Amino acid sequence: MQIKIKTPAKINLTLEVLDKRPDGYHNIQSVMQMIDLYDYLTIKVENSTTEEITLSGTSDEIPYNEKNLVYKAAKLFLDRANIHDRHVDVFIEKNIPISAGLAGGSTNAAGTIYGLNCLFNNILSRQELHELCAELGSDLNVCLEGGCLLATGRGEKIEKLPFRENPVSLIKPTNMGISAKEAYTKFSRLEKKPDLDMTFKMIDSIKIGTDIRQFLHNDLEVAVFQDYQELKKIKENIPQAIMSGSGSTYFAISDNIPQLEGYWVKTGLKFIPSGVECCDEYIEVTKW
């Protein structure tokens, strides 16, 4: 039995960093929006005498072992559902860039939890799925729920916001990623931190239906921007572009942006009202 899941990327319309938590993470307030750039998971489940999880895929930039968030998601699901006699195999078709601030790993993990729950006839409730997502990482709940959301806490607390259609284009230095650890460390070292409260201005704009572009903001961009000529080049050529997450991807609310040599550019994308979901290739499963 198998299922195919599409897992969309997210962008941060706002990202404001608040205080540091006792667990080492930072509290944030962020408006996150899912977009129609997808990875695809093919999840197969077979009977087995023992629990086994195997991964493979199209990217040579990610590990296909227990270090992968998809592996951790599958393991966590099986443990919570008390299933220990299945072989779970996940094939990951990567289209979302790695270490790009687009939640590629998080959306794959959320899709794994969602897909396995479908295969096991919704053995876990929606609330339980969200609990697993919150345990695994900061962006998984957003990817599971989808659409436009306010994310608080370390990103796991979510509140649904109205969905507004918008075009979006992405640009990223080809061979450059920025880890969340680097971005947050550099933010903590800033002598003067931004204090613009753009998140709630953005929420008001979304609810009223006015142009959201004037409220796009990312505190982490302020933290890392001066250290990378590649980011400065993006801003020079696309002044309205804003960094997503911890970078290094920038986005613009536009159907098109200039092509720059040495950069990955994806145009013609759009906001979507959904999160991880089954593809049309969904294969009906029988009850275990």
User: Number of C-alpha atoms within 13 angstroms, CB side, residue 119?
Assistant: 27
Single out the catalytic residue among 6, 139, 219, 266: 139
Residues 6+ apart with CB under 8 A from 145: 130, 158, 160, 275
Encoding tokens for residue 281? Answer: 């290739």
204 as an active site residue: the answer is no
Q: Are 66 and 72 in contact (CB under 8 A)?
A: yes
Q: Are 254 and 153 in contact (CB under 8 A)?
A: no
Q: Give the span between the Cα atoms of 134 and 70, in whole angstroms.
A: 14
Single out the catalytic residue among 10, 72, 172, 266: 10
Q: Give the span between the Cα atoms of 147 and 32, in whole angstroms.
A: 8
Distance set, CA 258 to CA 79, 177, 237, 271 (Å): 48, 21, 8, 20
Q: Give the span between the Cα atoms of 112 and 5, in whole angstroms.
A: 8
Kindly provide the residue ranges of all beta strands, DSSP E only, lying in 49-156, ordered along the sequence. 52-57, 86-93, 148-152
211 as an active site residue: the answer is no
- Look at strands 2-20 and 217-218 and give their pairing: parallel
Q: Which residues are catalytic?
A: 10, 139
